[in-house]
Structure 1
Amino acid sequence: MNDDGDSAAPLIRLREVCKRYGHGAAALTALDRVSLDIAQGEFVAIMGPSGSGKSTAMNLLGCLDTPSSGQYLFHQIDVGAATRDQRARLRRRYLGFVFQGFNLLARTSAQENVELPLLYRGENAARRHALAAAALAAVGLAGWETHTPSELSGGQQQRVAIARAVVSAPSLLLADEPTGNLDSQRSREIMELLVRLNREQGITVVMVTHEPDMALYAQRIVRFLDGRIESDEANLQPVPMPAASGEKAVS
């Protein structure tokens, strides 16, 4: 795979993408001729009712699936033409994932959870330890490295999950309902963290959410309906960020 080329090209480019499941009368079209560009460094919220196609779109963007027709270019690589192993390498090198349910290993420390992507990439132990500690510090959890998920609050667990997602310096962070299991205060803290990572580290963030108040942190809101993009609009009044006050562990 060659990711060289025009640096001005969008990080993500979907062109007339369709995704169909099944055949004949039982066939289901989850995505119907979707075209979408997302530039490096954008923060995009994807919204839509259940069955609108937003989750299918996220699976495609995350190189977990391929289009039935149309084209998906990521870093100018044609994902639909890539093999399963090539898509796995794309995920390891360029992508970070954050889920509603945190998906942490229960009996494993925060430090070890964050190190997992580096382990899969073959990094040596010293580099894994250093990068994981730095990622935990970046999300406000310095000093919590040895705690297991059961010793952490929901907000802290999601911060560990975000540290794990960004420890390998991905180009793209895909967040699927990242505040869905959190109360309003923890949700705001997580959204502020995602915005900081986007602004300060230049990580492109694409987030699926059903919560309009969480979508307002994004620069752009894309709404899906019946497998198509219903609207794609800039958010002219994003939620203002509080003044920086230094990193600290949160509840």
Structure 2
Amino acid sequence: MSARPLIELRAVTKTYGQGATALQALKGVDLTIDAGDFVAIMGPSGSGKSTAMNVLGCLDTPTSGEYLFNDVHVETLTRDQRALLRRRYLGFVFQGFNLLARTSAQENVELPLLYRGEPTKQRHVAAQKALASVGLAGWEHHTPAELSGGQQQRVAIARALVTEPAVLLADEPTGNLDTQRSREIMHLLWQLNVDHGITVLMVTHEADMAAYAKRIVHFVDGVVDSDTRNPHPAELTSPATTAAKAT
């Protein structure tokens, strides 16, 4: 008997506004995501991909339909219950990094734990571990202005990881980076998925970034237009990975 999906959307709709000005952003979305999957969500502007991501991240609620997370009906939860689910199970990475400018990398990473009320010593240890996991050991006391764009995004990823989430939601995580830094970030997300089992959901408009995912879901006009398995994720077929496996 197969395990239940970690995430299920069943006939989910989302409508903004009422009457003649109503905008139906989602028009009956069905989607299942297993634990440990890496899903790239793509589609043109206005296709519903960002709305779907907001629903999946418990930042918005469906107008109708069902959203199950670990068999819990998220659409029935209160605002406080959804916030608790976000804090305990979800990590977020955004295109714009969203780091506090005058605050060190370590202090930025500690923020989610500070909101949880974690003791100072535990926050320090967890933040240092998270920064090390993204290759930034030794950079704890640098501010964002002292870091490159790629390093800032690594800090943002460390901040998302410090709570040990089951799911990492990344919204255009390479949108503000050059090609080399983008590949570094995608390599990191790939490692977190493959080596640590973190489920990754990523919105992107870049096909070469989506190529790192195990599945590619295309949204068009508020519905899932296609959902395909990627038999050859980019990281698995990169020259560096092939060489590493040969040694």
How does the TM-score come out when normalised to structure 2? 0.95
Q: Which of the numbers 72, 79, 85 marks the counterpart of 1:77?
A: 72
Specify the alignment match of 1:225 in structure 2. 220
Between Structure 1 and Structure 2, the one with more helix by share is 2
Q: Which of the numbers 18, 32, 37 marks the counterpart of 1:37?
A: 32
* Residues 187-196 or 18-27, more deviating: 18-27
Q: Deviations over 1:68-109 (max 9, x none)?
A: 000001121111100000000001000000000000000100
1:7 is displaced (CA, Å) by 9.2
Separation in 1, partners of 2:15, 2:173:
27
1:22 is displaced (CA, Å) by 0.9
1:205 is displaced (CA, Å) by 0.2
* Amino-acid identity (%): 71
1:121-132 to 2 correspondence within 5 Å?
121-132=116-127
Specify the alignment match of 1:169 in structure 2. 164
**What SS does the corresponding residue of 1:89 show, helix, strand or coil?**
helix
2:187–2:235: 8 Å Cα contact kept in structure 1?
no
1:24 is displaced (CA, Å) by 1.1
How does the TM-score come out when normalised to structure 1? 0.93
1:17-166 to 2 correspondence within 5 Å?
17-166=12-161
Separation in 2, partners of 1:236, 1:202:
18
Q: Which runs of 5+ in 2 are unaligned?
A: none
Q: Deviations over 1:192-231 (max 9, x none)?
A: 0000001111110000000000000000000000000000
* Residues 212-221 or 233-242, more deviating: 233-242
2:90–2:167: 8 Å Cα contact kept in structure 1?
yes
Aligned length in residues: 240
Q: CA RMSD in A?
A: 1.4
The amino acid across from 2:156 in the alignment is A
**What SS does the corresponding residue of 1:117 show, helix, strand or coil?**
helix
Separation in 2, partners of 1:168, 1:8:
25
Separation in 2, partners of 1:39, 1:206:
11
2:95–2:171: 8 Å Cα contact kept in structure 1?
yes
1:9-20 to 2 correspondence within 5 Å?
9-20=4-15
Q: Which of the numbers 1, 8, 12 marks the counterpart of 2:3?
A: 8
Separation in 2, partners of 1:7, 1:128:
38
Separation in 2, partners of 1:192, 1:43:
12
Separation in 1, partners of 2:187, 2:4:
28
1:240 is displaced (CA, Å) by 3.0
1:179 is displaced (CA, Å) by 0.2
Specify the alignment match of 2:183 in structure 1. 188
Q: Which runs of 5+ in 1 are unaligned?
A: 1-5, 246-251
* Residues 159-168 or 235-244, more deviating: 235-244
